[in-house]
Amino acid sequence: MTSYAFWNNKGGVGKSFLCFVAACEYAHRNPNSDVYVIDLCPQGNVSETLLGGYEISPKAMRDMLANIPRATVAGYLEARLSSPFKMILDVSPYICRPCDRNPDIPINLRLVCGDNLLELLAEAIRQTSQLAIPVDAWRQVLSWIQDLCGALTDLSGDRDAMFVIDCNPSFAIYTQLALAAADFVVVPFTADDSSRRGIENVVALLYGVGPDAHTSTYARISFSKRAKEERLSTPKLHSFVSNRVTLYEGQASRAFAAVTITIKKTMDDIHEKHRSFFSQPKMRPSETFVEIPDYHSACIVSSMTGTPLHKMKAGPRLIAGERVQINQQPLQRYRDALNNFVDTL
């Protein structure tokens, strides 16, 4: 079992779409493995894409919300709230096969669907984690998604299981549940300074190390400190994905390249002092950066129709009444870059 959380403390970096691509391509390449997508973002974007995009996903999601229990991640968390310190052995009511709704999705991919009820459950989950009895209430509650991954691994039996967890940008309790369940964190970013600050916050929130004394003071008294005290494992930083890169003559534009250099330096500086935060401690983080070129048309078609990259074909497509043209050369370049990323998983 290996689990990856896709997270940046900044929104709008293409995180959910990268989750979709990674899960579908990994499942396509590894038919003897089970790939589980756990959608812990209340917006449910990766769920919408997996379930077929804008035309058919609303009905699919309504059907799952109408189930008793809700066939979503919120349904699972509601059940945990009812008996906070008792494991749920049968988690099958909370998972679905997206290929039943969207035939382009590999049959070995499973989804624990997102649900906007997460926002309403968040305070109840947080309060449960603060109970005085049992003494390890915080650790047990923060392990709920980890428990879900364990139960899903049991469902897979002898087949390998891989988990892709989509996180909300905020560090809400449900994001903490996701990160506590992950072995590794993939950090997508766009080449702007707010992304750099978002990555710095990832390190501060997970490990209690900030870029300055003021940040570090508060970082050390929050999640990272509690996790160390209660021996709750935190994930390692796996890779950094520079997303939506603008190209000029086949190379990243100067503006994108310049900002990416500052982000690489930030991570290399952290690595010098804190190698244990990284999945490959002997390798500088800048060597694990992946560049994904911007190809707006392919992104729109893929996300709006739930079409994985291995199913995408060049040519015109009609999306919401508008004609969208997919050209072969940029599509192949885009596909190659994303496949290079999936190779790292």
Is the model's pTM score more than 0.75? Answer: yes
For residue 153, is pLDDT > 50? yes
Nearest alpha carbon to residue 334 among 301, 291, 300: 291
The reported pLDDT for the residue numbered 217 is 57
Percent of the chain residues topping a pLDDT of 90: 65
Give the integer Cα–Cα distance in Å for 293 and 337. 7
Class of domain 2-343: alpha beta
Confidence of residue 321 (pLDDT cuts 50, 70, 90): confident
The reported pLDDT for the residue numbered 249 is 46
The pair of three-digit structure tokens given for residue 192, joined into one six-digit string: 């702007």
For residue 170, is pLDDT > 80? yes
For residue 213, is pLDDT > 90? no
Query: Which amino acid makes up residue 313?
Result: K
The reported pLDDT for the residue numbered 193 is 77
Dihedral angle of Cα 194, 200, 205, 208, to the nearest 10 degrees: -150
For residue 304, is pLDDT > 80? yes
> What's the rounded mean pLDDT across residues 285-292?
88
Between 321 and 200, whose confidence is greater?
200
Q: Is 132 exposed, middle or buried (0-12, 13-18, 19+ CB in 10 A)?
A: exposed
DSSP element (H, E) containing 330: helix 328-343
For residue 246, is pLDDT > 50? no
For residue 221, is pLDDT > 60? no
The reported pLDDT for the residue numbered 318 is 81
Give the integer Cα–Cα distance in Å for 55 and 136. 45
Q: What is the DSSP letter of 246?
A: P
Give the integer Cα–Cα distance in Å for 327 and 340. 20
> What's the rounded mean pLDDT across residues 10-28?
92
For residue 247, is pLDDT > 50? no
The reported pLDDT for the residue numbered 334 is 85
The pair of three-digit structure tokens given for residue 7, joined into one six-digit string: 């997270």
